């Protein structure tokens, strides 16, 4: 299962880092208004990241993750998925998210991602030159699918599903590998009961066959949603995954300048 609402990312805040943050609203091309949390470093960032949450949409865990990215000098905006069906108000732990995630569509999610990409490239976020996506679970899947865009510098996914969509049966990242153009980083749990090793291997092979620049990393013994400060036994996997995310963003954003 995904992280509880009271979980926090397994990343220590950087003392003294100057960061501004705010809850904002974005507008997608289809007119949808979505809630988002923006965190910006004090100096103009070269890179920006769209954070795609798990099936619960925007909540504290992903706001904290955006702050940690900004402390590292990377602009970040974490988005919500449910503007079309639940509006933009903040929600408590009783929110019936599964009813709403079942009403999302790949096209709607990608339209919302597009609104976040436009925000990061705008003067409001100091005009990021390079834009990435980083997603978790449901968001990991959609993060990889954003790699079909022409204007994305890279796509990172933590333990995203790889096959047909659970709710809509839409093709997943493995079957759409030939459409993906941006570099991909996949961070998977070796003990993830919902994403077996053969599915991960099939994804890796499909990206190879499509000629996609990619790296697939599996952490032995790590469960789904291992990237959580509560899982002290997986602290090494979390630390390595965070290091890889930062390296992926920094190396590829530097290469585009």
- Over residues 19-45, mean pLDDT: 94
Check if the beta carbon of residue 7 is closer than 8 Å to that of residue 229. Answer: yes
Tokens of 3: 């992280």
The length of the chain in residues reads 257
Identify the pLDDT of residue 167: 78
State the Cα–Cα distance between residues 110 and 127, nearest whole angstrom.
20
State the Cα–Cα distance between residues 121 and 130, nearest whole angstrom.
8
Residue 43 has pLDDT above 90, yes or no: no
State the Cα–Cα distance between residues 107 and 207, nearest whole angstrom.
22
Q: Is 48 helix (H, G, I), strand (E, B) or coil?
A: strand
Assigned domain for 5 exists: no
If one counts every other C-beta atom within 10 angstroms of the C-beta of residue 223, the result is: 18
Assigned domain for 4 exists: no
Assigned domain for 13 exists: no
Domain boundaries, position 114: 19-255
**Which CATH number covers residue 193?**
3.40.50.1820
Distance linking the first and last C-alpha atoms of the chain: 39
Among left, alpha and beta (phi > 0; psi -120 to 50; other), residue 87 is left
Q: Does this model's pTM top 0.75?
A: yes
Task: Tell me the per-residue pLDDT of 160-218, one tens digit each, with 9 for 90 and over.
Answer: 999 988 878 899 999 999 999 999 999 999 999 999 999 999 999 999 999 999 999 99
Nearest to 50 by CA among 31, 74, 20: 74
Give the CA count within 13 Å in the CB-facing half-sphere of 210: 23
State the Cα–Cα distance between residues 244 and 23, nearest whole angstrom.
28
Task: Tell me the per-residue pLDDT of 228-251, one tens digit each, with 9 for 90 and over.
Answer: 888 788 999 999 999 999 999 999
State the Cα–Cα distance between residues 142 and 135, nearest whole angstrom.
7
Residue 148 has pLDDT above 80, yes or no: yes
Check if the beta carbon of residue 79 is closer than 8 Å to that of residue 50. Answer: yes
Assigned domain for 151 exists: yes
- Over residues 66-89, mean pLDDT: 96
CA distance to 38, 123, 173, 224, per residue, from 194 (Å): 31, 41, 15, 8
CA distance to 121, 226, 227, 229, per residue, from 232 (Å): 37, 9, 10, 6
Give the CA count within 13 Å in the CB-facing half-sphere of 62: 31
Nearest to 14 by CA among 60, 68, 63: 68
Least confident of 2-6, 9-13, 119-123, 224-228: 2-6
State the Cα–Cα distance between residues 82 and 241, nearest whole angstrom.
28
Assigned domain for 210 exists: yes
Assigned domain for 3 exists: no
Assigned domain for 6 exists: no
Structural domain tally of the chain? 1
Assigned domain for 112 exists: yes
State the Cα–Cα distance between residues 203 and 197, nearest whole angstrom.
10
State the Cα–Cα distance between residues 257 and 254, nearest whole angstrom.
6
């Amino acid at each position: 299962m995904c992280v509880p609402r009271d979980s926090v990312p397994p990343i220590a805040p950087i003392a003294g880092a100057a960061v501004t943050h705010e809850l904002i609203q974005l507008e997608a091309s289809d007119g949808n208004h979505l809630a988002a949390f923006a965190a910006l470093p004090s100096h103009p960032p070269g890179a920006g990241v769209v954070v795609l949450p798990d099936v619960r949409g925007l909540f504290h865990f992903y706001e904290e993750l955006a702050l940690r990215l900004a402390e590292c000098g990377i602009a970040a905006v974490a988005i919500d998925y449910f503007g079309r069906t639940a509006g933009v108000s903040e929600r408590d732990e009783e929110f019936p998210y599964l009813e709403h995630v079942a009403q999302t569509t790949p096209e709607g999610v990608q339209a919302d991602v597009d609104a976040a990409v436009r925000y990061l490239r705008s003067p409001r976020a100091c005009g990021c030159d390079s834009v990435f996506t980083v997603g978790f679970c449901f968001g990991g899947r959609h993060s990889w699918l954003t790699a079909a865009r022409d204007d994305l510098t890279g796509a990172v996914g933590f333990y995203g599903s790889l096959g047909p969509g659970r709710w809509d049966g839409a093709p997943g990242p493995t079957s759409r590998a030939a459409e993906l153009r941006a570099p991909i980083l996949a961070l998977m749990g070796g003990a993830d009961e919902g994403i077996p090793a053969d599915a991960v291997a099939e994804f890796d092979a499909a990206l190879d066959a499509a000629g996609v620049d990619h790296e697939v990393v599996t952490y032995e013994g790590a469960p789904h949603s291992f990237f959580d400060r509560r899982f002290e036994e997986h602290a090494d996997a979390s630390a390595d995954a965070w290091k890889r995310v930062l390296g992926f963003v920094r190396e590829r954003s530097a290469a585009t300048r």
